[in-house]
Structure 1
Amino acid sequence: MLKIAVISDIHANLPALKTVLNDIENRRADQVYCLGDLVDFAPWPNEVIDLIRQNRIPTLMGNHDERIAFDLPVVPLLKHGPFETQCRMAAIDFTRNAITKENKAFLATLPRHIQLTFGFSDRDVRLLLVHASPRSIDEYIYVDHDGEEVASMMAEKNADVLVMGHTHQSYIRAIPGPTVKTAINCGSVGRSKEADRLATYLLITVADSKTAFRPDSLQFELIKVDYKIEETIGAIRQSPIPDFYADFLSVGEVVK
């Protein structure tokens, strides 16, 4: 039996990352993968990157990592009003000024996807890890996304299981077709948009590869972990990052 943890969207929230990694260790996971967005919105971008690197966690490039790595401009999002857009720009500027040269260079090396193959006695099961979607680093795939389109994206990449982040809203969804596929959003460690604001990650349990594949050969569990969110809220308020991001963590409402 193999246990794999998948984390995503830390967004410079060091207390949340530390708590999640401790929970993963307690659950005796064999492998850990990160889907990206290590930076922005909390005051520990370097500390988060350092911890990821110290633990040798294979990590994908998120859209926030890409922007910092390559000095890309901030493009306003239609879903944000003028005030949030202003706050977003200020928070990203904080990261640009704080990040070390070494960590910026590290972000530039991150890949866009990771594919894992699990061999059973009668078939292989292919799992694709992406930050946002198989075709874009910043596409939002919510739980109600058109199922046929998700199935098409997965078929194009020959994936039986698709694991994503980016939306900060976790779910596990069966995608119907000739063979049932599974689309998963592992949620966000550091900036959950779910009402409970808990740090969320995915735990995958893989059965013995010597056996034939069964419906329960791959088990998926979304893990929610309470962390010292007040520490993060306080640190944001004491930093140049706008209080908007501290208020966000303390509100506790679902946001798209």
Structure 2
Amino acid sequence: MIQIAVFGDVHGNLPALEVVLNDIKERGITQKFCLGDLVDFAPWGNEVIQKIRENNIPCILGNHDERIAFNIPVIPLSKHSEEETAARFIAIDHSKRHITQENKAFLGELPFHLKLNYMTGKRHWNIQLVHSGLESNDTYLYESENDEVFEDMLNASQSDVILMGHTHISFKKKLGEKWAINTGSVGRSKEENRLASYVVLTIDEEKITPKIIQLNYPVEEVAKQIEESEIPNYYARFLKNEKVVVS
């Protein structure tokens, strides 16, 4: 039996990341992978990147990582409220100004995809990691998508499991003997409970079993640190699940 942990969408939330990494360690899982979006919306972008680097955690490129690494302009999204749009510009500009050049270089070198192959007994399993999709790291895919969307991704990647993030909403969808899984978000969950979320895959010769893990972390302390930073208070209220427009 092999176990791996997969997480993503940390978004500068170091306390949430530390809780997740501690939980993974307590479970005795040594193999960890990150689906990207290390930065934006909380004050610890540099610290999160350093934590990933110090722990030698393989990580792929998220859309926020790409924007910070290559100074890509922020484009307003129609799904965001006027308040969120204004806050988003300020928060991303904060990252562009505060992420170190060394850490920007690290983000810019992250791979777009990562394909894993594990052998248990005589069985090989292929596991595809993406931030949001095979062709784009800014594609929104939810559990409600037609099965064919995920089946096409599994077939195109020749994988048994595809893991993604980006939407900040976790799910696991069984498609025959295969799986499409969203790990949810470590640091900026859009789920009602706002818990830090990640996935454990248990791999044996017969099957792969996914489990979504959701953990409490010191949300009030994170919100306080956001409020004391230059990052808009919108993101503190969001984490506390106070009145904000969620899209």
The answer, yes or no, to whether TM exceeds 0.5 is yes
- Structure 1 window deviating more from structure 2 (236-245 vs 122-131): it is 122-131
**Counterpart position of 1:218:** 208
Aligned to 2:70: 70
- Residues 39-78 of structure 1 show CA distances to partners (whole Å, capped at 9, x for unaligned) of 0000110011011100000000000000000000001111
1:128 equivalent to 2:128? Answer: yes
Checking the alignment, whether the CA contact within 8 Å between 2:120 and 2:203 is kept in structure 1 is no
Identity %: 49
Listed as ranges, the matches of 1:185-200 within 5 Å are 185-200=182-197
The structure-2 alpha-carbon separation of the partners of 1:22 and 1:42, relative to structure 1 and needing over 3 Å to count, comes to same
What runs of 5+ residues in structure 1 fail to find an aligned partner? 208-212
Measured after TM superposition, the shift of residue 201 of structure 1 is 0.4
Per-residue CA distance 1:128-173 (angstroms, 9 max, x = gap): 0000112210101100112112211221111110000000000110
Query: Distance between the aligned counterparts of 1:164 and 1:70, measured in 2?
Result: 22
What is the CA distance between 1:119 and its match in structure 2?
2.3
1:1-256 pair list within 5 angstroms = 1-176=1-176, 180-207=177-204, 213-214=205-206, 217-251=207-241, 255-256=246-247
Task: Note if contact 1:168-1:194 (Cα within 8 Å) is conserved in structure 2.
Answer: yes
Q: Could you report, residue by residue, the CA deviation over 1:72-127 in whole angstroms, capped at 9, with x for unpaired residues?
A: 00011110122211110000011011111100100000001111112244542211
SS in structure 2 of the partner of residue 251 of structure 1: coil
Comparing 146-155 and 95-104, the one that deviates more: 146-155
Distance 1:206 1:175 in 2: 17
Query: What is the alpha-carbon root mean square deviation over aligned residues?
Result: 1.5
Does the aligned pair in 1 maintain the 2:3–2:202 contact within 8 Å? yes
TM-score of the superposed pair, with normalisation by structure 1: 0.92
C-alpha distance in 2 between matches for 1:54 and 1:227: 22
Note the alpha carbon deviations across 1:221-256, whole angstroms, 9 max, x for none.
Answer: 111111111111000000111110001011169944
Q: How many residues align?
A: 246
Asked whether the 8 Å contact 1:20–1:189 carries over to 2, the reply is yes
| Partner SS, residue 4 of structure 1 | strand
Q: What displacement does 1:174 show?
A: 1.1
Q: State the one-letter code of the partner of 2:236.
A: A
